[in-house]
Structure 1
């Protein structure tokens, strides 16, 4: 029985509504990123796929292809947390908190008492 349950956990994570491609809000450099969220075992991770300037033109940055967060777990009821979140603009790791509501993902990262947040939009499931 345990073996069957262990085999189902990664499949359940892969079918989670968090999985997909998400568009960020503009950052302090006015760049928008596309983030691919995938199941990483029974948890979730996100990678920076691409970046765009204010006109929508794709730009190259050294962060493309890097992991943005990892080891995030579903906490139920559209809430996700745990793991680590890398904040590229200030090169710091933070504790992520995410809330999924339909095609909107509210993302918050805190390092000690300092927190930053964004609302991301789903581009693709």
Structure 2
């Protein structure tokens, strides 16, 4: 490889490695299954890298027997601007609670294929543990 080609290759490689949006390899990225909500619906949430942070979209919903159901929330963002805080902890950003149509401050803790998700508005907090479906 010529010296100029090597320099160009290295410049592109270093640029790609340093781009904040390349959080794709982060273990939180994937599809997660929620616990049943108050309406007894289970959702599948797709967590993606969104720039240098993470966002979650509602992919689908199911009743407790596993039958897919349609809701107006499918395709909507559930959370955005969540950042990795290290050691499996994620926070910041906003988390939308469809049942009561409010945004709360999310806190997430990843432990293997379980994601503990907590959101609080003032002193009222809710908690679920999500299970990984796919990486």
TM-score, normalization by structure 1: 0.94
Query: Structure 1: 5+ residue runs without aligned partners?
Result: none
Partner deviation per Cα, 1:51-94 (whole Å, 9 max, x = no partner): 00011000000000000000000000000000000000111100
In structure 2, the gaps of 5 or more residues are 1-10
The structure in which a higher percent of residues are strand is: 1
What is the aligned-residue RMSD (CA, Å)?
1.6
The 3-state SS of whatever aligns with 2:15 is helix
Indicate the residue corresponding to 1:87 in structure 2: 97
TM-score normalised according to structure 2 size: 0.87
**Alignment of 1:51 onto 2:61:** yes
Instruction: Report how many aligned residue pairs link the two structures.
Output: 123
Counterpart secondary structure, 2:20: helix
Q: How far apart in 2 are the matches of 1:38 and 1:20?
A: 7
Answer with 1 or 2: which has the greater Rg: 2
